[in-house]
Amino acid sequence: MERKESFLQYIRTEKRYSPHTVTSYQNDLDQFSHWLGENHPAMSDDSVTPAAVRGWMVSLLEDGYAASSVHRKMSALRAFFRYLRRHGMSSADPMSALKLPRKPRQLPVFVAEEALDRLLDDFKFGDDFSGIRDRTIVEFLYLTGMRRSELIGLHDEDVDLSSGQVRVTGKRGKQRVIPLAGSFIKSIGTYLEARREAQLDGSWFFVTSRGNKMYDKAVYNIVRRYLAMVTTVEKKSPHVLRHTFATHMLNHGADLNSIKELLGHASLSATQVYTHNTFEQLRKVYKQAHPRA
């Protein structure tokens, strides 16, 4: 237990993982410990075998876990045992030669441009503070491609309307700067004025109607509610707007490296998945337009 807590403290403070990631790792490690206690009660952290890890992986698959979920849980275990080895708490490597289940390739879900245009150009969000804030949140996610956690973590000083840019603090504290469109700067100004009139000014950029910092579920519900009005895609989340931002940028000629920097991806491979969406769009246009397609 002490080793697990030490590891969680390490990824929380030194690696600066997000609270969501730390919680996920903790849940995965707790789940593995519970399974280990039931199936290998004499086994401790420094005596876990590759066979035991494979046994847990098989049990997860038999219980109906998706391959992507199993991959995430194995990543948590791999990070934990790597930490134990590096800090001299164990010499074993139970993750060696572990073959993970193949993950089916899933293309990012995105919303059609026409649907976003209808929402932002024609739909009335309301003239009160909540309506203006909700519209600004949807626009912010779509026009910047930032993550939900990054949007929630914005402070007033991060948004510079005079220079037309926003400073975003991403995963592990890495910062990047995203430009703001001229028309959107005006919308942001409208939101700030509404916030001042409602006497909700403070440190956080986005706040609830009571002046508190916005939270994950509230942002999710806002996005889901408004996207449901213009699209039938199954997923309607803040992350879908991030996918939509990248896909639309790529469709309009942006290069992958620029999109990578705007999204805050650590490697280009994470951004390349959007090229598949673009190819599917090209295939659709080709079939519709070519007389012999």
Q: Which of 4, 133, 148, 242 is catalytic?
A: 242
- Count, in order, helices (H) and strands (E) of the chain: 13, 3
Burial of 162 (0-12, 13-18, 19+ CB in 10 A): exposed
Q: Is residue 85 flagged as an active site residue?
A: no
Q: Is residue 274 flagged as an active site residue?
A: yes
Rounded to an integer, what distance in angstroms lies between the CA atom of residue 155 and that of residue 141? 16
E strands present in 154-275: 159-160, 165-169, 175-179
Cβ contacts of 247 within 8 Å, gap of 6 or more: 108, 110, 274, 277, 278
Q: Provide the b/e sequence for 203-236 (b: ≥16 CB within 10 Å).
A: ebbbbeeeeeebeeebbeebbeebbeebbebeeb
Strands laid side by side in the 165-169 sheet: 159-160, 165-169, 175-179
Encoding tokens for residue 226? 């408004």
CA-based nearest residue to 78, from 53, 107, 41, 101: 53
Q: Which of 54, 171, 176, 213 is catalytic?
A: 171
Q: Which of 4, 135, 147, 248 is catalytic?
A: 147
Q: Is residue 213 flagged as an active site residue?
A: no
Q: Is residue 118 flagged as an active site residue?
A: no
Q: Which of 17, 142, 226, 274 is catalytic?
A: 274
Q: Which of 71, 118, 176, 265 is catalytic?
A: 265
Q: Is residue 242 flagged as an active site residue?
A: yes
Which residue carries 């491609």 as its tokens? 145
Q: Which of 118, 224, 235, 239 is catalytic?
A: 239
Cβ contacts of 128 within 8 Å, gap of 6 or more: 194
Q: Is residue 236 flagged as an active site residue?
A: no
Encoding tokens for residue 74? 């194995």
Backbone φ and ψ of 232, nearest 5°: -110, 10
Active site residues: 147, 171, 239, 242, 265, 274
